[in-house]
Amino acid sequence: MINPGESKTETSRCVFVIDDKQIIRAMIYYPLTTGRNMAEILRLINALQVTDKEGVATPANWQPGEKVIIPPPQTAEMAEERVNDSSLECTDWYFCKKELK
């Protein structure tokens, strides 16, 4: 990859995360002067695998074993059930986290 304005001949580094269905799931660009962060790349891959398997989202800086974000409720009844569920950590009816088992 060549970044316009940085150099006409030197390539920049880009990490592509491609899933088993050949879909690009993430791209991380690094300047020529900066090395890649392998811990972050592994964290990203773990997070993508968890979101695919569990149907959840992972918050910023998420690490395996930490709480995940569950999808918002689709009905008012589901929202009320969610707020009363003691296994969830809810900021509000639409934003709740849970531990994976």
In a domain, 92, yes or no: yes
Range of the domain at 100: 56-101
CATH code, domain with 60: 3.30.1020.10
pTM for the whole thing?
A: 0.80
Query: How many domains would you assign to the chain?
Result: 1
Pairing type for strands 89-92 and 68-69 reads unpaired
Residue 58 burial (10 A CB sphere; 0-12, 13-18, 19+): buried
Tens-level pLDDT at each residue, the chain (101 residues): 666 676 667 777 889 999 999 999 999 988 878 888 999 999 999 999 999 999 999 999 999 999 999 999 999 999 888 888 999 999 988 899 999 98
The SS3 of residue 50 is: helix
Q: What are phi and psi of 30, to 5 degrees?
A: -125, 140
In a domain, 14, yes or no: no
Looking at residue 93, its amino acid is W
Indicate the length of the chain as a whole number. 101
Task: Give Rg (Cα) of the chain.
Answer: 19
